[in-house]
Amino acid sequence: MARLGFLTIYWRDMLRFVRFKTVLVSSLVQPALWLAFFGIAMAANFDRLAGSVPTIPGVPVVSYLTYMAAGVIAMTTLFTSLFGGIVLLFDKNWGLMREIMASPLPRNDVIFGIALSGMTKSFIQAGIIMVFGIFIGAEFFLGYSAGQTFISLLGILLFLGIFSLGFLFLSAAISISLESPEGLQGIITLLTMPIFFASNALYPVNAFPPLLQIISGINPLTHLVNGIRFFAIGDDFQSIGIHYTATTGEIALSLCVLAIFAAIMFALAYWRFQKAVVT
């Protein structure tokens, strides 16, 4: 019964995502436009500036567009995940959440159903952005064999999945505690800017002030970007004049940070749902 309820919550939210054409199209087109206009414009400037920096023999040089495309994939996942809980507020306003809470359905099923539907949306959007990025010149999986590409895609999905679950649990915890979508939008706006800009999504963090480097080091978005770049670009490359290397141990540490974050956010969501009273 619990499994059936879990699948019902999941499938219902996915149907809503597909049927609302405006939301579906805008959620897919907006990141692509960001990558196309901002990415190409910034790539031309950064690549020109980096052209005067001597390259390291034997180290592949990656364009800024490729470097940034990994960050845009992460950014899209962040925004999608944080807004994933807004469906709970709509259900509360329409009276549907009251019926769900009064049913024998375990409240955990609501959390997992919403979280995994949001994770599915993140996978869809990330896949579209990745294909579009390759189409406009991002050099993902360059020199990879078919097997290496497949394994790298699985690695990217693993990072995306754990990251999106963490922020979807956070979004669900916030949503079940509020009464209006406007309140959620305000909190999300407050969260997204520092999380996004205090990360390595658009630029290296080497030149950050020491305090900001510490914040970036514990920022889940930084660890997601690390994983995407490791699997999509490689463990040794040069971009915008900086030499980047990553070891398997460092990537495993990033995955652990994301897993711990997701576990903490699930505990928060579980606590808020157990305490929630929907009238």
Q: What is the pLDDT of residues 112-160, one digit of tens each?
A: 888 888 899 899 888 988 998 898 888 999 989 999 999 999 999 999 9
pLDDT on residue 216: 93
- In the chain, pLDDT over 70 holds for what percent of residues? 90
Amino acid sitting at position 247: T
For 62, phi then psi, to 5°, come to -110, 135
| pLDDT over 60 at 1, yes or no | no
pLDDT of 41 higher than 90: no
Please tell me whether the overall predicted TM-score, pTM, comes out greater than 0.85 for this model: yes
Average pLDDT over residues 23-35: 73
The residue that leads in pLDDT, 189 or 216, is 216
pLDDT of residue 161: 96
Does residue 23 have a pLDDT over 70?
A: no
pLDDT bucket at 74, cuts 50 / 70 / 90 = very high
Strand-pair category, 236-239 with 61-62: parallel
Residue 224 φ then ψ, to 5°: -65, -45
pLDDT at residue 36 tops 80: no
Tell me the pLDDT band of 2, cut-offs 50, 70 and 90: very low
Q: Residue 5's pLDDT is what? A: 67
Give the total residue count for the chain. 279
Residue 222 buriedness (CB in 10 A; 0-12 / 13-18 / 19+): buried
Predicted confidence (pLDDT) at residue 269 exceeds the cutoff of 80: yes
Position 24 confidence tier, pLDDT thresholds 50, 70, 90? low
Evaluate the CA torsion angle 267, 270, 274, 276 in order and state its sign.
positive
Q: Are 15 and 24 in contact (CB under 8 A)?
A: no
Query: Taking Cα atoms as reference points, which of 125, 38, 23 lies closest to residue 74?
Result: 125
The yes-or-no verdict on residue 104 having pLDDT over 80 is no
Average confidence score pLDDT of the chain:
85
What's the pLDDT at 56?
A: 80
Work out the average pLDDT over 73-101. Answer: 80
Whether the pLDDT of residue 252 is over 90: the answer is yes
14 has pLDDT over 60: yes
Model confidence band, residue 92 (pLDDT cutoffs 50, 70, 90): confident
SS (H, E, C) the chain: CHHHHHHHHHHHHHHHHHHCHHHHHHHHHHHHHHHHHHHHHHHHHHHHHHCCCCCCCCCCEECHHHHHHHHHHHHHHHHHHHCCCHHHHHHHHHCHHHHHHHCCCCHHHHHHHHHHHHHHHHHHHHHHHHHHHHHCCCCCCCCCCHHHHHHHHHHHHHHHHHHHHHHHHHHHHHHHHCCCHHHHHHHHHHHHHHHHHCCCCCCCCCCCCHHHHHHHHHCHHHHHHHHHHHHHCCCEEEECCEEEECCHHHHHHHHHHHHHHHHHHHHHHHHHHHHCCCC
Higher pLDDT, 135 or 45: 135
